[in-house]
Amino acid sequence: MKKLLNNVDQVVEDMLNGMAAAHSTYLRRLQNTTVLVRKQSPVNGKVGIVSGGGSGHEPAHGGFVGKGMLDAAVAGEVFTSPTPDQVFEAIKAVDGGKGVLLVIKNYTGDVMNFEMAAEMAEAEGINVQQVVVNDDVAVEDSSFTSGRRGIAGTVFVHKIAGAAAESGADLDEVKETAEKVIHHVKSMGMSLSPCIVPAAGTPGFELAENEMEIGTGIHGEPGVERTSILSSKETARLLFDKVQDDLHLQKGDRAAVLINGLGSTPLMEQYVFTSDVKEILDEHGIETADVIVGEWMTSLEMAGISLTLLKLTPDLEEKLFAEADTPAMKRFAK
Amino acid sequence: MKKLLNNVDQVVEDMLNGMAAAHSTYLRRLQNTTVLVRKQSPVNGKVGIVSGGGSGHEPAHGGFVGKGMLDAAVAGEVFTSPTPDQVFEAIKAVDGGKGVLLVIKNYTGDVMNFEMAAEMAEAEGINVQQVVVNDDVAVEDSSFTSGRRGIAGTVFVHKIAGAAAESGADLDEVKETAEKVIHHVKSMGMSLSPCIVPAAGTPGFELAENEMEIGTGIHGEPGVERTSILSSKETARLLFDKVQDDLHLQKGDRAAVLINGLGSTPLMEQYVFTSDVKEILDEHGIETADVIVGEWMTSLEMAGISLTLLKLTPDLEEKLFAEADTPAMKRFAK
């Protein structure tokens, strides 16, 4: 295992300190927790939004803490759900009196622990609602999941629900907005090589030199098939078709596209893939309101990519483009 | 070689099409060239800024084409200088009557080809100046370089010279600003694993399972030493010391910091390293005006990181934070 670390048992701790040090104008770490919250928390009179999950998916979720997205991100150990008490600390810290929405990726541990935290918060009189993101169309049920997994489409939920909260919507409205995004967003990924959880020290799965896997999860969960390595064009067609089976985009529909690198796939390859995806969308007469290319929901150093399509309605599009400012969007800005 | 591609000989072509397709509100590709220019080019009455070099360093340089940074990026084949005629096309396309500045990374081929293009442009009556970035303190002279190599510090040159040009400065002033940044910016990197140029199909160098290399260039050029794998703390100390030897930051100085992932090093590890760098800067009483973490000047899928420090003066800091909008900064924005 070749990693730039100090201590495998301290990697999440060290990472959180690095995020807090680099992005101190955006966020701070709640003492003695694995929670990053907006620097000024809570925001009074605004619905708070809390997300999180296992670490190893950076910039998700700490990179999305800031204006127009998340109020808090709770980090678990690598690929491990955060505990209920950590989520509870996050909820308490960001409740500005209008309640808190939890955005949970659909993994059994996450759902259980976030729900337990919600109960703890309700017992203290905080109004908490939750949504579960399950955008991965690859498989039903998986290693750590009952139903479909939540992957990169979660970023659109953060962004659009975040815009709703920022505009002053109440908890029910923010939840409805998040659910509308979840209904309209579908994703699927593929991998060319596995990743290594630091504490494990060995790859989570293996792929032969001429093999790729279609539909791999972001923790290396099995996908739908292993095949000899396909071209970018073939891969784009395959992922698009599977996503489209669920999303039923029509000619003239507007979509936002997220081409998400899983870790070690160079931006060069991501753009080659983007070109192929765009060609398919053009063939179908689907208009792209936005095409985002880069690393948003990673799997450590896994090689691979995922395709996310969000079917837009005018209200979703407006919120997608609403102002937001978070570390993952930080670019030469105070 | 496991890559998501269609044809190794078409990879730059396909990538440029993907960038143009994804970022059509920012830029366009000049027909029959490997040049990406701002969508509205030239910008009349503004100094044009042209950069570029071999491909494989994405988002550099196409991702920096846009308001407040570059007017054009010229792409060569992977790790290969663009030809003079391509650079010449870029210069012609972005000259808005106030002349053009070329920002060249210090590699022999780049310097030669950009200079030849400058001569071609001068012959057509376009005023062209150039600066050569040589921020890599690792080694004097290298495989493809006489003197020091240009690496991630180039991004600060783009940003700050870009701000000067945007504010209406004339060609001499923009050049002076760029030279001031070059004088104040130093970098050094390290690698844990090599990368594979698609057309070659095999790694450019080899590192044993327990080895890392200090001072590797962004094309895999040899660094200063190979060592058993150091901790992040040790690596941070080593890179900082070498950069500081040249930069002589004093207590109370303000600096901008760029922690740059080379390709397959997870953001998790980049943030661990960030935490260690920040600790060293704090020890020295150096104030950080900005800490940027992520992939800005990559080497395909090389594992590794570079540290760049820019010593700030008030005028540089103002330009660093001036508004800019380019695809590499694109985040849910029209």
Q: Are residues A32 and A136 in the same domain?
A: yes
**Rounded average pLDDT over B271-285:** 98
Arithmetic mean of pLDDT, A222-247: 97
Q: Rounded distance, CA B101 to CA B95, Å?
A: 10
Contact B266 A305 (CB under 8 A): no
Look at residue B1 and tell me if it is in a domain: no
- Picking from A56, A159, A267, the nearest residue to B332 by CB comes out as A159
User: Does residue B303 belong to any structural domain of this protein?
Assistant: yes
CA nearest to A19 within chain B:
B271
What is the pLDDT at residue B141? 83
pLDDT value for B254: 98
Q: Does residue A123 sit in the same domain as residue A226?
A: no
ipTM: 0.97
CB pair distance less than 8 Å for B278 and A5:
no
Mean pLDDT for B246-253 is: 98
Give backbone dihedrals phi and psi of B206, rounded to 5 degrees, phi first: -130, 145
Confidence grade of residue A225 (pLDDT, cut at 50, 70, 90): very high
In a domain, A1, yes or no: no
- Are B75 and B174 contained in the same domain? yes
Residue ending a domain, among A165, A183, A201, is A183
Identify the CATH number of the domain in which residue B96 sits: 3.40.50.10440
Does residue A146 sit in the same domain as residue A201?
no
Residues B164 and B40 in one domain: yes
- Boundary (domain end) residue, out of A183, A207, A232: A183
- Residue range B179-185: mean pLDDT, rounded: 98
Distance from CA of B181 to the nearest CA of A (A): 15
| CB environment A72-110: b (16+ within 10 A), e (fewer) | bbbbbbbbbbbbbebbbbbbbbbbbebbbbbbbbbbebb
B288 to chain A: closest CA residue: A22
Over residues A182-187, the mean pLDDT reads: 98
Residue in chain B closest to A291 (alpha carbons) equals B22
Asked whether residue B233 is domain-assigned, the answer is yes
Q: What is the pLDDT of residues A67-78, one digit of tens each?
A: 999 999 999 999
Domain that holds residue B277: 185-331
Question: What average pLDDT does range B224-235 have in this prediction?
Answer: 97
**Residue A41 and residue A122 in one domain:** yes
- Same domain flag for A169 and A195: no
Rounded to two decimals, the pTM is 0.97
Active site residue B158: no
Alpha helices by DSSP H, listed for chain A, are: 11-22, 84-94, 108-123, 154-166, 171-184, 232-247, 267-283, 314-320
Q: Which residues pair with B72 in a beta bridge?
A: B37, B50
- Domains: count for chain B: 2
Per-residue model confidence as pLDDT tens digits over B99-142: 999 999 999 999 999 999 999 999 999 999 999 999 999 999 88
Give Cβ neighbours of residue B82 (< 8 Å, ≥ 6 apart).
B34, B52, B53, B54, B74, B75, B76, B110, B113
**Which entry of B61, B183, B219, B248 is annotated as an active-site residue?**
B219
Give a yes or no: residue A304 inside a domain. Answer: yes
User: Chain B contact for A275, CB < 8 A?
Assistant: yes
Same domain membership, residue A211 and residue A175:
no
Within-domain flag for B2: no
What is residue A173's predicted lDDT score, i.e. its pLDDT? 98
A122-172, pLDDT tens digit by residue? 999 999 999 999 999 999 988 888 999 999 999 999 999 999 999 999 999
Annotation marks residue B284 as catalytic: no
Lowest pLDDT segment from A133-147, A205-219, A263-277, B45-59:
A133-147
Whether B34 has its CB under 8 Å from any CB of chain A: the answer is: no
Position A3 in a domain:
no
Is the domain of A149 the same as that of A137? yes
Q: Are residues B67 and B134 in the same domain?
A: yes
Task: Indicate if the pLDDT at residue B333 is higher than 60.
Answer: no
Closest partner residue to B264 among A19, A264, A273, by Cβ? A264
Specify whether B74 is located in the same domain as B175.
yes
CATH of the domain at A252: 3.30.1180.20
Instruction: Report the pLDDT value the prediction gives residue B330, as an integer from 0 to 100.
Output: 61
Q: Are residues B177 and B223 in the same domain?
A: no
Last residue of one domain, picked from the residues B161, B183, B205: B183
Q: What is the pLDDT of residue B143?
A: 82
Interface of B with A in 283-312 (CB under 8 A): 290-293, 295, 298, 300-301, 303, 305
Q: Does A73 touch chain B (CB under 8 A)?
A: no
The answer to whether residue B219 is domain-embedded is yes
Per-residue confidence band for A57, with pLDDT thresholds at 50, 70 and 90: very high
